[in-house]
Structure 1
Amino acid sequence: MPRSTVDVSHALATVLNGTRVVSTAINLPGPVTAHRLAALGAEVIKVEPPTGDPLASMAPIWYDELRQGQQVVRLDLKSDEGRASLHEFLADARVLITSIRPSALDRVGLGDLDERHPHLLHVEIVGDTTEPDDAGHDLTYEALAGLVEPPQLPQVPLADLLGAEQAITATLGGLLGGLTGPLRVGLGDAVRGVNASVRSGLTGPGSLLGGATWRYDLYATADGWVALAALEPHFIPRTLTMLGLDVEPADRSPVEDAFAARTTQEWMRAAKELDVPLAPVQQPSSR
């Protein structure tokens, strides 16, 4: 009897039903975290400053995606009225997400949140847990982790996104364990945890996954680019057959010449037929 495929998003959509989450976190890691928790069924109240979340002007499409299904309110947390409104929201909440330096939280008069709301699980997203008051952003944390190749800037904000994943895990783990109080997550910690591929020599210029073998690389076609990832031994003969080569090449030249002779779609049809791990290189959306 064939097994049915489970739609994970649908299956988990009610996991956090009845759980109220208040997030004062703006920019990227906090909104990504809140978005995922809302997708799991949580009731999310997104608190923004009077001027709104900066992400709305930097990436309006992504901002709109991340706030779907949430109640968005604007409060001036530097004012007595704004703080009073926040405390009202927190009275019935189970989770609070913040992404502000501890010293800044103190300066706006919210340094006593954990004492005032002992029922809350407070997920604090900071730059780095070792020095949470130091200034920084995704680029600085990626640079410190050795994930930046100058002069190119990162194409994906890994520290922000991995930090969000850790915040999601901390939230779910904290709720599962019945925890209250602060749980601190650091963006710098998150990328230090994934730079093992660079430290171990698996990735990076000249490494196995960084250009050392013709079997794992990018190639220009007649009308674009393709990504070849034929690492395992059983893919080698199939790839050589697809390329029209009798033996493994001593350098890239025969492979480059072969790919350049046909269009991307022609190569994709051939790869599908021979079961070769090949993909077209898509251009980032210009929307």
Structure 2
Amino acid sequence: MTAGPLAGIRILEVGHILAGPYATMLLADLGAEVTKIEPPTGDLSRQVSDAYFASLNRGKRSICLDLTTDDGMRRLGELAAESHALLVNLKPSAIRKFGLTYDALRRWNDKIVCVAITGYGLDGGDDPAFDYVVQAQTGVASLTGDPDGPPMLPGYSAADNSTGMTAALGLLAQIVSGRGGQVDVSLRDVMLSQLNYRASAYLNEGTEPRRMPNGAHSYYVPAQLFPTAEGTLALFVTHDGFWRIFAAEAGIDGFPTMAERAQRRDEVLAVVTEVLSRDTAAGWEARLRPLGVPAAAVRSLPDALDATPEMVVTAGDFRLVGSPIRVLGYEPQYGPPPKLGEYTDATVTVGPA
């Protein structure tokens, strides 16, 4: 079997809960050797549940170090000397206090890449910056939900997961450069970046962002959730070709151009809503998908997992969602999540788990 694309890459992780551990788990899935450095009390996610911890830490090894002691700091340096990168998600003062920056570790290894995940940047202070807080601060919550209701949050940790992926990209980019150095990724900056076209419309055109009913797209019409005879349908018509096909199947006349549909949004939505009420969400999906029109019935997570069994993998005693990155010829080996400190007494050199 082909080795993973990151085989031989050794990564240290120091952090808790989600963003950092998710980043390094994605890298472990691709073959990197990830060593999780935990305090004697362990990653806080161990206190949530075993399944929660497993969902972010499969395929890693765990070493317990007390970084408040001279011995712990010495061991950290020895591990850094044998590693390509260190990824940490703690508040900036703790990152500096425990010597988890490139400036602190370069004496051990001037090629090491140090990635810091923080709320507002390494120089942005220690204000609390949890996922939901950052979504509120950056405008994400204000854009989510129906106009007549309160601001809403998505049903998963969008800021943490997005920041984890971004940090993994930054880590790999710096490794590819062949230079050691500091990479700084913040939850705030990632979420602002992901508001790309919304932010651009405001910055360049003065368009005030606003919530749309039923999660409607601000540009495309019809592109939103619709009630049907049974269930809810997501329909996403992004260009005139999709509209022609959908309109022919649905028996709708008129509104041939994107500009006209946007200008006459309320009329279009009224017509489409009435037509979609004549069949179920599952029925419309079955009719539209073979025609190439983007449409799907709203499913529960259990239904979505049942529909994609190939995405469910086994890691030790846990069934988890597998890596979203598929590399031709490579099949990830999903190891179990590590027991707390199970490799603490192993030799310093980081090698295959």
TM-score band (shorter)? 0.7 to 0.9
Is 2:63 the partner of 1:46? Answer: no
User: Which residue matches 2:84?
Assistant: 94
Within a 5 Å distance, the mapping from 1:1-287 to structure 2 comes to 14-58=4-48, 60-108=50-98, 113-119=104-110, 120-129=112-121, 130-149=123-142, 150-199=150-199, 200=201, 204-206=210-212, 209-210=216-217, 214-248=221-255, 250-285=267-302
Instruction: Give the Å deviation of 1:93.
Output: 1.4
2:267 aligns to what SS in structure 1? coil
Where does residue 336 of structure 2 map in the other structure? none
Whole-angstrom CA distance in 2 between matches of 1:59 and 1:221: 38
CA RMSD of aligned residues (A): 3.1
Q: 1:45 to 1:217 in 2, by over 3 A?
A: same
Letter paired with 2:109: P
Query: CA 1:110/1:273 → structure 2, altered by over 3 Å: closer, same or farther?
Result: closer
Where does structure 2 lack aligned partners over 5 or more consecutive residues? 143-149, 202-206, 256-265, 306-353
Superposed displacement of residue 24, structure 1: 0.8
Displacement of 1:75: 3.0
Whole-Å Cα distance in 2 between the matches of residues 14 and 273 of structure 1?
35
Whole-Å Cα distance in 1 between the matches of residues 36 and 276 of structure 2? 49
**Aligned CA distance change for structure 1 residues 99 and 109 (closer, same or farther; 3 Å):** same
* 1:184-237 Cα distance to aligned partner (Å, 9 max, x none): 222211112122322215974249953676511211122211100112111222
Provide the identity percentage: 28
Is the CA contact 1:25–1:98 (under 8 Å) kept in the aligned structure 2?
A: yes
Q: Which amino acid aligns with 1:123?
A: V
**Secondary structure of residue in 2 paired with 1:153:** coil
Q: Give the AA of the match of 2:252.
A: L
Partners of 1:48 and 1:74 within 8 A in 2:
yes
**Which region of structure 1 is more displaced relative to structure 2, 229-238 or 270-279?**
270-279
Which of 268-277 and 73-82 deviates more? 73-82
Q: In the TM superposition, what whole-angstrom CA distance separates every residue of 1:148-200 from its partner, at most 9, and x where no partner exists?
A: 12431233433222222221122111111122232222221111212232221
- Alpha-carbon distance between aligned partners in 2 of 1:122 and 1:185, rounded to the nearest angstrom: 11
1:198–1:204 CA contact under 8 A, matched in 2: no
Quickly say closer, same or farther: Cα 1:186–1:214, change in 2 above 3 A: closer
- Higher RCO structure (Cα 8 Å, ≥6 apart): 2
Q: CA deviation at 1:265?
A: 2.0
Q: 1:153 to 1:170 in 2, by over 3 A?
A: same
| 1:60–1:230 CA distance, 2 compared to 1 (3 A) | farther
User: CA distance change for structure 1 residues 222 and 56 in 2, over 3 Å: closer, same or farther?
Assistant: farther
When the two structures are superposed, what TM-score results if normalisation uses the length of structure 2?
Answer: 0.68
